[in-house]
Amino acid sequence: MAYQVCIDIGGTFTDCLVSDSKGEISIFKSPTTPGEFEKGFINVLHVAAEGYGLSGADFMKQIDLIVHGSTVSTNALVERKTVKVGLLLNEGHQDILVLREGPRKGAFQWRLNYPEPYVPRHLTKTVAGRIDARGRELTPLSLEDVRKAAAEFRDLGVQAVAVGLLWSVVNPAHELAVQEIFEKELPGIPVTLSHEINPMPREYKRVIAAAIDASISPIVRTYIEKLRMALDDEGFEGELLLANCVGGMMPLPEMLKKPIYSVMSGPTLAPMAALALSDEPDIIVGDMGGTTFDVSALRDHQLIVTPDSMIHDDSLGIPKVDVRSVGAGGGSIAFVDEGGLLQVGPKSAGARPGPACYDTGGTEPTVTDANVILGMVDPDYFLGGKMRLRRDLAEAAVGKVATRLGVSLEEAAYAIYTTSNHNMVAAIEEITVREGINPRDSFFVCGGGATAIHIAEMVDILGLKRYMIPRFMAGLSAFGGLISDIRKEESAVLLTSDVDFAVDGVNDILARLLKSGDAFLAEAGVAKENRKFEFAFLGRYEYQSFEIEVPFEARDGKLSAEDLPAMVEAFHKMHERIYSIRADGDVVEFTAWKLRSIGKRSGQDLWRKNMLAAQSGAVAAKAERGVYQQESGRVETLPVYELSTMGAGARIDGPCLVEAETFTAYLKAKHLGEIDPYGNVVVTVA
């Protein structure tokens, strides 16, 4: 038997999905090991081996491929635990990271301090030398300035260097010369060049991307080396791929070249799973783990990629799948503030010490503790009975909130439950309503171990009519990784317009991008027939400040003058969709050209062959359980169904509970569920 594996490290649990050579998928979980993530990685593989009745060594030998969504770089940035970075810029342009792009604040936020630059000014050095927008050298690069900066960086103890010189995207000669000198003067110190990491015309986006990449480069490299060493010790001889932030996988050498693409990569796998699970055009994906609730959206059955993702006060610089996060996970801690109001999150109990009911040292009340008290979670069937929860410890923790609020234990637990729901609803509205999208028109796909407990109330608040509880909901991101493509994005700069469109210049760029993308897929082992390429341009109306991304078709990777009207019309339509206006008479400028290289992996679609047999007869509940109902203010007995015993077409009506080994789902009254051919619960609100 040959296996393919995806491992996704979350704040509380590490998820492992395994697909065998027949396409049958199994899910396994083990506690995350903060600070030593590679240990949790190996631990969950041992849990999976035990699930298949194999020794760890035998299981490892039969794994062909491991794909992995890492949180190491994201954690380093969020916790501000990156390495010391030196930044080299052009003389007279020391404040690119200070000024940013002129960030706007609210009219009444006049007391806010101006945020500090990502790289402090004392670690930012400048050199003489200048290249203009056409790639011409106006002033030669001062090699003496470069050597002086290298010496200063050495004395300051920098651990990585970022280089961001003006118009290096048009002519990289100066940046390449700096790199050559730094490699001699600063041996062993990684150097990130802005024109390589983010070849875009905007100085701030390019420089901040280089700075962030440099700041996490040693961290990502160390993690990958530890992980590779741990897998070697276990006898793993297969291929290891890492998730990137554009919705796919990258081979290790490519990720080591551009570690910034590992930032926030894990959450991007959930919308990839939703793409495969549903044909609905507009989908909201909510992934509630132990620490955060991640929400993303699909429009016209396409990933939404944003160029404006933020890390604290700084842009990430590179495009990524648009995923928003709030501190509303199962481990989010509830407390009563000084004003007597209940708050939930963003602080989390995490994996250590965890919720109080885990009996691993946690004493603070969490969302999971509240769900145990409400009867949503069976303490004896958590993770299929492999982990027993302590209701008494949950009661002791939540009791502190009940005392502060002067309410019963069940009322306090429900207050925690519904407050958490409203926090998640706000995140959903952020990515839908505030972007001009009506969530009622969308289909919701649940992800994470806890979402299905909370989704029914959230759906009623938002006015949604249909949602899905996937069979592998508790490992939705891992499922997305298991079935995702190999992907890479590249771009190049060439300014032209629809008035004097530079067909030959654009075709030269497209040819160069195609050659690079094809080489990447070939190196990743993707067969020619499984390679796919998607084109897009960044465009704007003349005199506009910012561009928008517009996809376009290029037959055999080439454009002709006859293609220009269609591209201009596509820009007008996209501009109208985003901003509600179009200006057909205005000049359209094209500033940059992008290529997305996509490679299909063998075996990633095998899961579609494993369809459930049709349900025979009525569905029988396996048990009954008392669940607190806010409408009546008392505990009511609800039927409990086992997901694994139901066939395709089986129908269940709320209010009820549906249990699987790795999650529990709660359906409210008028929520009508039906099992689809792949074992997912599709719910319609009557």
pLDDT(16) > 80:
yes
Q: Tell me how crowded residue 281 is: count the other CB atoms within 10 A of its CB.
A: 13
pLDDT (mean) for 407-411 = 95
Alpha carbon distance 541, 82 (integer Å): 39
Q: How confident is the model at residue 498 (pLDDT cuts 50, 70, 90)?
A: very high
Q: Which is more confidently placed, 328 or 467?
A: 467
Q: How confident is the model at residue 105 (pLDDT cuts 50, 70, 90)?
A: low
Give the tokens for residue 485: 């493509």
Q: How confident is the model at residue 386 (pLDDT cuts 50, 70, 90)?
A: confident
pLDDT(11) > 80:
no
pLDDT of 283-294, one tens digit each?
999 998 877 888
What are the start-end ranges of the E strands in 524-655? 531-541, 548-552, 588-599, 623-629, 634-642, 651-653
Where does residue 290 fall: left (phi above 0), alpha (psi -120 to 50 degrees), or beta otherwise? alpha
Rg of the chain over all Cα atoms, to the nearest angstrom: 26
Q: How confident is the model at residue 104 (pLDDT cuts 50, 70, 90)?
A: low
Provide φ and ψ at 220, rounded to 5°: -65, -40
Alpha carbon distance 367, 422 (integer Å): 13
**Amino acid letter, 658:** V
Which residues are 86's β-sheet partners?
161
pLDDT(232) > 80:
yes
The answer to whether the CB of 482 falls within 8 A of the CB of 6 is yes
Q: Tell me, what's the pLDDT at 112?
A: 74
Q: Tell me, what's the pLDDT at 577?
A: 83
pLDDT(103) > 70:
no
pLDDT(659) > 90:
yes
pLDDT(418) > 70:
yes
pLDDT of 459-470, one tens digit each?
999 999 999 999
Return the half-sphere exposure (C-beta side, CA atoms, 13 A cut-off) of residue 566: 10
| Dihedral angle of Cα 105, 109, 114, 115, to the nearest 10 degrees | -70
Q: Tell me, what's the pLDDT at 107?
A: 66
- Outline where 375-485 has alpha helix (H): 391-405, 409-431, 451-462, 476-483
State what percent of residues in the chain have pLDDT above 70. Answer: 99
pLDDT of 359-385, one tens digit each?
999 999 999 999 999 999 999 998 888
Range in 505-509, 542-546, 621-625 the model is least confident about: 542-546
Query: Of all residues in the chain, what percent are helix, strand and coil, respectively (each to 5)?
Result: 35, 30, 35
Q: How confident is the model at residue 192 (pLDDT cuts 50, 70, 90)?
A: very high
Name the strand (E) or helix (H) holding 372. Answer: helix 367-374
- Cα angle 264, 348, 380; round to 5: 110
Name the strand (E) or helix (H) holding 573. Answer: helix 564-579
pLDDT(648) > 80:
yes
Residues 554-569 as b or e (16 or more Cβ within 10 Å = b): beebebeeebeeebbe
pLDDT of 133-153, one tens digit each?
989 999 999 999 999 999 999
State the average pLDDT for the chain.
Answer: 91
Which distant-in-sequence residues (6+ apart) come within 8 Å of 605 by Cβ?
A: 483
Which residues are 285's β-sheet partners?
296, 445
pLDDT (mean) for 217-241 = 93
State what percent of residues in the chain have pLDDT above 90. Answer: 67
Work out whether the CA dihedral 308, 69, 450, 27 comes out positive or negative: positive
pLDDT of 516-562, one tens digit each?
999 999 988 899 999 999 999 999 999 998 889 999 999 888 999 99
Q: Name all domains of the chain by residue range, CATH numbers in brackets.
A: 79-214 (3.40.50), 486-599 (3.30.1490)
